[in-house]
Amino acid sequence: MRKFKFIGIILALFLLAGCATMNVGEVPWTVAISDWQPKQRADFLMSMWMSEKATYDMQNAIENKPEELVKTLEIKYNILEKSRVPMRMYASIVNSGGVPDQASEQQIIDWLRQLQIQLIYQ
């Protein structure tokens, strides 16, 4: 059990390091995300989703997973699958010059929060 908490901490640090290097269009950290351009927000949210997917893939590759991790991975998988198509649609809208509605963006943010919560409560 202690070993898996340690692995979770390492993965969290990896995730934070990945987030720190993401390209968000040269947005200063003093600017609130709500003030970013739609493309900047879409790039950030897509990067976060891809990071969560990579974390899932790394955790799923662990052999002889304990039951707690298996349950967590099932939850993460369900969230990733639910959010995959809407996330891509959101990014496509922005990449084509459109502005997605606030409800779509909030739904994606909620899914990302659910994915991140799974890392904390392992």
The DSSP result for 42-56, as a single string, is: HHHHHHHHHHHHHHH
Single pTM value for the model:
0.69
| Listed residue (48, 18, 54, 55) closest to 33, CA to CA | 48
Contacts of 34 (CB under 8 A, 6+ apart): none
Q: Would you write out the chain's pLDDT as a tens digit for each of its 122 residues?
A: 555 555 555 555 555 545 444 445 566 777 787 788 888 888 888 899 999 999 999 999 999 999 988 999 999 999 999 999 999 898 888 889 888 888 988 899 898 898 888 766 55
Q: Which two tokens stand for residue 94?
A: 């922005």
What is the spatial distance between Cα 112 and Cα 39, in angstroms, rounded to a whole number?
18
Which residue ranges make up each domain of the chain? 2-120
Distance CA(116)–CA(119), nearest Å, equals 5
